[in-house]
Amino acid sequence: MYKIGDKVIILDYSGKPLDPAVVAEVEDVYGQDRVRLRLPDNACCMEFTNMFEKIDEDKYSDLLHSVRKRERPLAVDLQLDIRKFAGKHPRRRKDEIFNVFNQDKHYVSVLNAYAGRVQMYGEENISERFLYEYKDAKAGLVRTRTFFHELDESIPVPDLNY
């Protein structure tokens, strides 16, 4: 039986930890077979207890650290490459290019989160709000990549009509 505050690792449908690993904390217990989990991005979800397993505090800290490391902002040297890219296009304001670049990162993050949640929970269990964010991110990614494609034709515009 799980209790509030337990640290868990999410399992895929074959009973193995997801790769990359996803950890969560039990936020509320709704019976012996269902709980509400708080994920590292502060999102919450209802889950059956057979879809995760309890882990100790040390393993949770290590895996949470790797999750935070994956979500960390871009390294300074990559931002310098963006500055060089902006320097090659003097007609556009640098802050405009940085803004579009940050939007692009956000859209890619939402698309990756959607893909991960579909893998974990199945497409039929995705909430309407998150589905709306996913569709908005698809349209936004096409807009941002079109912006960059106009500046440099080597940057492809994705076809996300699936």
Q: Is 38 exposed, middle or buried (0-12, 13-18, 19+ CB in 10 A)?
A: middle
Is a pLDDT exceeding 70 seen at residue 32? yes
Would you state the pLDDT for residue 54? 92
Confidence of residue 43 (pLDDT cuts 50, 70, 90): confident
Would you state the pLDDT for residue 27? 92
Would you state the pLDDT for residue 162? 52
Question: Could you report the per-residue pLDDT of 88-101, keeping only the tens digit for each?
Answer: 877 777 788 888 88
Would you state the pLDDT for residue 161? 65
State pTM to two decimals. 0.51
Measured distance CA(102)–CA(22) in Å, rounded: 24
* Residue ranges of domains in the chain: 7-69, 73-151
CATH of 7-69, one of 2.40.50, 2.30.30, 2.40.10, 1.10.1760: 2.30.30
